[in-house]
Each structure stands twice: as C-alpha cells, then as structure tokens.
Amino acid sequence: MAHRPALYRRLAATAVVLGLLLTLHRSATSTTPAGHSARGPAVTHVATAPGSRTALSGYRIQSTAKVSDPPAVVSSPGYPATGWQPAGPRSTVLGALLANGTYADPFYSTNLQKIPAADFDVPWWYRSDFTVADTAGPLPPGGGQEGRTYLDFSGVISAADVYVNGSQIATGSAVAGAYTHHELDITALVKAGTNTVAFRVQPNDPDKNLTMGWIDWLQPPPDENMGIVRDVLVRRGGPVALRDTHAVTKLAVPSLSSAEVTVKAQARNDSSHPVTATVSGTLGTSTFSQEVTLAAHQTKSVVFAPAAYPQLRLQAPRVWWPASMGEQPLYDLDMTATVTGTVSDTAHETFGIRDVKAPLNSDGARQYSINGRPLLIKGGGWSPDEFLRWDRTYVADRLKYALDLGLNTIRLEGHIEPDEFFDLADRHGLLTLPGWECCDKWEGNNNGGEPGDRWTDADYPVAKASMAAEAARLRNHPSVISFLIGSDFAPDAKTEKNYIDALKETDWSTPVVAAASAKSSPISGSSGMKMTGPYDWVPPNYWYAKREGGATGFNSETSAGPDIPTLDSLRRMMSPAELDTLWRNPSAKQYHRSPSSTFSTLKLYNNALSGRYGAPTSLDDYVRKAQLAQYENVRAQFESYGRNATDSSKPSTGVVYWMFNSGWTSLHWQLLDRYLDQGGAYFGAKKANEPLHVQYSYDSRSVVLVNNRRASASGLTARVTLFNTDGTEKYDRTASGLTVAGDGAKTTALTLPSSVAGLSTTYLAKLVLTDSTGKELSRNVYWLSTKADVLDWDNTDWYYTPTTAYSDLKGLGSMAKAALSTTAKTTTGADGTSTTTVTVRNSGTGKTPALLTDVHLVNGDGVPVLPVQWSDNQVSLWPGESTTLTAAYRTADLHGSAPRLRISGWNTPTTTVSAR
C-alpha cells in the first residue's frame, strides 16, 4: 500500500477522537480492567529493540452478524468487545469456539456434523490490542533517525479487511489467500500506549479461494478453516529495513570438501530522505559488511558473494543429511543494518548446507539424490490438525514417529505448516515435499478443474504472491527438497510462468516438480511422478507388479486405503452403536471415513477381510483381524519399493504412503491415529524399513536382504523356515556367507520352491538374519497361503484394482493358544523420560508360535500411554523363543500412575502386568 503521510495524519486524528469517545462509553458500561478485552487475552507489549518481531498474543472474535458498530469503532482502542470470544494467536473461528467449549468434542461420533455451518457464512471480526512505548520507535527522534512500526503477517483464510486504530489499512481484495505475505507500514497510525488492530475475516470456500481445503481426507470443518492461522507480528525498526535475508549455498559434490555461501538481503529506506547504511553480517566466525546509499523510499539488493568475500568459501563444511544418512548441522546467519552508527534493523536466518538433485532416470521417473548419494524417497502424506491448531509438542511427536518408522520424507499437499514445522524437520533430519493441493481452486484452471473453480484475473497475482511468500519462507530449510507446483494436474502455461518467475526471484535452488501425477508443464517438463493409486484395498502381492501403483518409479500418494485403529482409539471416537455397525454391516456408510462417495464405506476392505481371514464374530475379532491385515499390507508396500530400488530396469525411486496421519479421528489413510496409538499398519511399516532387513517376495518367492545403512554388511546368514499353523515344520533352508552393499542395495539369499510337501493351505514363514557371531539382526514372519490373491488388472480403476480370488488365511483361526511369560522393569531418567524394558517369552510346551504379539504400555486405568517409541513390537515367537523390547516415553504421560503392560496377540490371551 502506498505511503500517504497526510492521509494517515487525518485518519490518526479521527482515531484519537473515536478512541476518547469509546473510552468514556466503556467506563460507563464495563468493569473490565483497562488494557484487556472482556475475557480476552492480555494486551501484547511490543518490544522496542530494532529488528524486534512481536507476535500478537491473541484475539477477541465475534461474528459480524452480532456486531452493528462500524469498523472504525470496532478497531479503536477502548472498544468493549462485550460478549466476544477469546482466540489464540493462531486460530480458526471454529478452533476458538472449540477451545471455549461452545461445541461438543468434534472428534467423537457425529458431533462435527451437528455444528451449524450457517454460523460461518458471514465475516468474523478478529480484534487485538498492543502497546508501544513511544511513537518514534527504537531510535531517538531527530536527525532523520525516525523509527518505524510494521504489521507483518500471512495465514489469513480466506481474506480480510485490516484496520488499525480506527483506520482501514488494507482491503480484502489486497489481503487474500492463505499463503500471501503482507507487510504494512503503520508508523503514522501507531501511538504511545494502547493500539488496536482488527481483521474482518471473510468466509472461506476452497473452491473459490486460494486457501486450504480437505478434499476427501476427512469430514471438513463447518467453518472451512476461516481465521488467522499464522502469527501476526508487530515489527519495529529504524529508517532502513532489512528484508529477504537468505543464504544461497553451493556444495562441492561428491567430495563435500568445500562450499560457497552467497548472502543476500534487501535494504529498504522507509524514510523520506536519502540514507547511507552499513549492512554487515556474521556467519560462524566470519564477518563481512558493505555500505549502501539509498534514496528516499528506495530498495537495493545487497549481495555478499564469495568472489568478493572469500571468507564465505567454507572448507570442510558441516554438511546436512537426512537422519538415516548422517548428521544435521545448521548454520546461523546474523545481519545488521546501521545508520550513523545506530542499529536500524537486524535479521537472523538458519540454514543448512546440502545438495539436492532430482533428474529423470531412463524410465522417466524422478530420482532424488542428496549430497551425491542416491536416495529412495520413503514418505508419508501429512495432515495437520483439522482445525489448524498448532501444537509444537504434538507435531514433534508425529515427526519422531516418522523417523521411528524408517521414513525419510513427509509430503505436504497444501496445508503448508508454520515455520516451526520446518525448523523441527531440519533438526530431526526429515525431508519435506511441500506443494499446492489438488481438486479445488488451486487446480481450477487446469484440465481437472470444475467450471466453478476457474480463475479470474484477480487470482493470478494471488497465486504468484503465494508462491513467492512460501519460497522465501522455505528456501533456507535444508529439509525442503522440492516444491510441487501441481498435484493431480500440472499448472497451465500462464500459471506456471508466474510460479517459476516467483521461484527464481527468491533464489529457489531445489528441484521444481510440475505435478504429483504423471503430468508435464511447459517450463518444468515431465513431473517424473505417478499417481496411479491405489487408494483402497488391494492384496499384498499387488505391490510387486511393475505396473499401476506397483513398485516402479515414484508413486507420490498410495496405499491400500482403510486403516482400522486400535480398539482403544475406536472407543474414543465412535459410539457403541457405530462400533456395532462397523463390524456387523460391511457395506454401511462410515462417517469417520470420508465425505467422498467413493470412500464412504469400507466395503472393499471388509469383503477382503472376511474373504481372506473369515467373517468377524465380534468387534474385538474384527479389530484383531484388521491389525493383522494392515501389518501385512503396509509391510508389503514398503518392502516392494525397497527391494526394487536398485533394479536395472524400471527401478522404484519413491513412494509416499497415503497418508502418514490424519487430522481427525479416521478409519482410513493413516499409519498412526489421531491419538498417536500404533497398530498393525505402524509396525508393518517399521518392520519393512528397518536398517538391515530380510524380506520375502510375494511375486518370486525369493528371500532378499536390503541394506539401508551406508556401510556394506558381510558374513551374513539368512534362514527361512516354513510351518503349518499347528507349528509343524515343513521346510528349512539356510544361506551363509552373504554380503550386501549399502545405500539401499540388495542381495537375494535364496528362493523358495513353488510347492512344499505337506504344507497346509495357510502357513507361516519365519525369516531370520544373523551375523557371523550368530547374533540376530532381523526377524520377519509372514502368514501366507498356497492359494494366491488374484488381481483383475484389466478392470483397474483410478483408486483400486479388483481382486477376483482371495488368499485363504482362514487357517490362522484354528491356531492353538500360545502361552507367554513376561518380565518388565522401568527406569526413570532425570530428563523427564522413562524407559520400560520387557522380555516376552513363548513359554508353551507345544509347537504353536505366538503370532503378532502386541505390547501396549498403559497406566493404572488401562489407558494407553502415548506417544511411545518401541524398539520393536507385534512380534511372533516360537516355543522357547524370547525377545526383549524397550519403550521410551515421557514420564509425565503416566499422570502419576505406575506403568503397566497389556500383552495381547493373535492367539494369546490378553493379560496386564506391572512394569515398575
């Protein structure tokens, strides 16, 4: 917005008069202490240091349907805001109402459906007060050293008119789009003492606004996430502002012996007279500076390149790696702008040094490498909380779970999280693939858009501004390895040019991908990815075919669909009547699955569960069979992609499990549930992605070793034993002296015969990998059938391939009960964490193994202690065998209770033991 001092002075004078009138009115009608809104957050006290960024501490919000006062009154200091609701600093409207107890738990039953959507069809006011010590800012007045105050924000959904102290400073047409960044100079309006900022936030429609939508992931929130979901900052500084500070790095590959760092910034003179500023910086022990002369209101780029500043040529740089490949060192860049020796502004950035490449291989698939080493992308699709509530601990817990599963990447289709998310990803060594979402306004101009989603002339600058803002925010995060400028479809030529121009202008250095599907665009070219599904149930052997969604190329989103949570979670999210329907009626619509008619039921999944394992006889039996089915299917998906990664023909290059988690209480698309409980899908993925792994191939019956570590491994022995379900051994083979290279390499140990005499229709395969000393390195147990699942490839739909005949795994139901004995002990650390160690032994005297034994850490009331990280779980043990497992967790999550362990399994009774 253009700077108009005369206009601002008139508006400020009007605001002062309104403020005085409102103060008199307020003193007569309200007993709320000065400086606070009724029941609202405390006034934000703005720091005065140059370069300070103070986030508003919260808001009072109200529907415009209940506010008759004009905006100039609502946005002036002293306005009473009687009956308004408190909201946090990042909050959708519904998020605030939920926090205030307006509605019942939206994660339970159909409570979400009962929230009246009509309440959110009108704009809502967001109002917040802040104080500044003086109007001159952090620098002394006089001599041209005036201070400045700015309002800095993004994350408005969908748009907002913005007011400060009774004056409108921006319109909804200018502040539009969830990702656009805005900096408004409010110096002329701000006064010493209390000031007010107010946003009149417009309703959101993801099909009409470039914001955020939920597609078919979950039942959408009735407010469509309208609100302010990122921090609104009040920034202070002097006449020269430093903006757009960042580092551009170039790493010597493959030697990694040196790196060049180019530091860039924008120096902006916000005063009405010429200024000479000194811009200086520090990077580690290196310092650098230069003088910049700026005309009134001029902006210049300031560049510190290694050619002129050799101290920015780093020898033996600390290189950033994904967690599975190395360490995650980060560098701090600090910049300062001074005018006549006085600090005017400061900036701080953190960055990592790493090199990402992602060319297309000979099959046209995108193949990532990092720092010169090949990388199979093993990822999951991310969902934020449905109401976009930010909880750093909750997010960190989920990212730690991703690493525990052996994943290296998180894909964010839209819903691009706040800065702290990427800070956490940087520090944990988890790669990210952010990008725009499908199926709403973002792809409205592409060949997949509905006519009502088509862009108008006003949408193009919003899209470009969104790209520029997100690129500037994400470019220095080493965890970010690409941006997907399309999802199901690539952008059209005009849109793509806007995106690419914005990316170039922000020095974006990692690959730009046209789409998450097999699409091409004029500038970026072929995406090198596929989006062939499936999204609903398919059998484990599906993943081994090098077609459709099978293990070849880069599959950007895929899974066998439904994931039934643990019984603990199901009882937290569904009513008794809904739980009864869940297992009794296979074709019933399930509210907790999806609003999509395609995914509204569990019919395909339930038919397969009954066809393969036998019809469920109770809710407990249904959940028990579901965990077994999900374990084998998720394991097969990741194992197939891992095995095929080094194939000479049509290798697999990446797979993103759809999805990693859900933002709601869901029955599909999740490796872990909303409550962070872990079932078969979780431990199937963890098993498949272990660092050194022995696995069975459903297509060729081969036993393969996959080494995800850097170093090679030798002197290995692989043993495979086949058993009938009664525990009778029918086949046993060993391969010794095996060697397997590192970085995802594989070697075939042996191949099972096509038939084995005396093998029952349902049978078990136990695979064990040991080192030269006999130490067990990997154990993997499969339940298989002599009758294969048969796929009807010719009738493949976009979301699944039909199965015309099922494997017969019903023999598992006749397995004898296995007896288990356990011993457990807990130690508590000074860091607030505890570790419980449990040894589980199959103490049976017969031949029957204990299949898929699950250990749950619970408190004294039997409630799971979550989150928890197990060294292993859902293990299978033959008589006389034992295993020792560890569980790490926060001591406080016991809530004062002594730890206990609940042990259950496919063919073992459920028992609970002390773990003191």
pLDDT of residue 849: 97
C-beta atoms surrounding 738 within 10 Å: 18
In sequence order, the 6+-apart residues with CB closer than 8 A to the CB of 816 are 726, 727, 846, 848, 907
pLDDT of residue 140: 43
Spot the catalytic one: 557, 563, 690, 789: 557
pLDDT of residue 756: 96
Active site residue 363: no
Per-residue pLDDT of 845-862, as tens digits, reads 899 999 999 999 999 999
Per-residue pLDDT of 814-845, as tens digits, reads 999 999 999 999 999 999 999 999 999 999 88
pLDDT band at 110 (very low <50, low <70, confident <90, very high): very high
94: exposed, middle or buried (Cβ count in 10 Å: 0-12, 13-18, 19+): buried
pLDDT band at 109 (very low <50, low <70, confident <90, very high): very high
With CA atoms as reference, report the closest residue to 84 among 48, 116, 128, 122. Answer: 128
Cα–Cα distances (Å) from 616 to 578, 585, 613, 785, in that order, read 16, 11, 8, 19
Active site residue 557: yes
pLDDT of residue 447: 57
Cα–Cα distances (Å) from 832 to 398, 684, 892, in that order, read 19, 29, 7
Per-residue pLDDT of 162-216, as tens digits, reads 999 999 999 999 999 999 999 999 999 999 999 999 999 999 999 999 999 998 9
* Average pLDDT of the residues in 409-413: 98
Per-residue pLDDT of 535-579, as tens digits, reads 999 999 999 999 999 999 999 999 999 999 999 999 999 999 999
Answer whether 179's CB lies under 8 Å from 419's CB: no
Q: How far is residue 381's CA from residue 676's CA, in Å, rounded to a whole number? A: 16
Given a cut of 60, whether residue 143 has pLDDT beyond it is: no
Average pLDDT, the chain: 93
pLDDT band at 41 (very low <50, low <70, confident <90, very high): low
Percent of the chain scoring above 70 in pLDDT: 93
Spot the catalytic one: 488, 536, 808, 893: 488
In sequence order, the 6+-apart residues with CB closer than 8 A to the CB of 478 are 320, 328, 330, 351, 352, 353, 354, 426
- Alpha-helix runs per DSSP H in 795-913: none
Cα–Cα distances (Å) from 56 to 29, 44, 232, 846, in that order, read 26, 6, 6, 67
Answer whether 744's CB lies under 8 Å from 645's CB: yes
pLDDT of residue 23: 34
* Average pLDDT of the residues in 886-892: 97
Given a cut of 70, whether residue 148 has pLDDT beyond it is: yes
* Average pLDDT of the residues in 374-381: 97
pLDDT of residue 141: 40
Per-residue pLDDT of 453-487, as tens digits, reads 789 999 999 999 999 999 999 999 999 999 999 99
pLDDT band at 436 (very low <50, low <70, confident <90, very high): very high
* Average pLDDT of the residues in 31-57: 69
Per-residue pLDDT of 510-532, as tens digits, reads 999 999 999 999 999 999 999 99
**Dihedrals phi, psi of 650, to nearest 5 degrees:** 50, 55
Helix, coil or strand: residue 223: coil
Q: How far is residue 757's CA from residue 763's CA, in Å, rounded to a whole number? A: 12
One-letter identity of residue 511:
P
Given a cut of 70, whether residue 312 has pLDDT beyond it is: yes
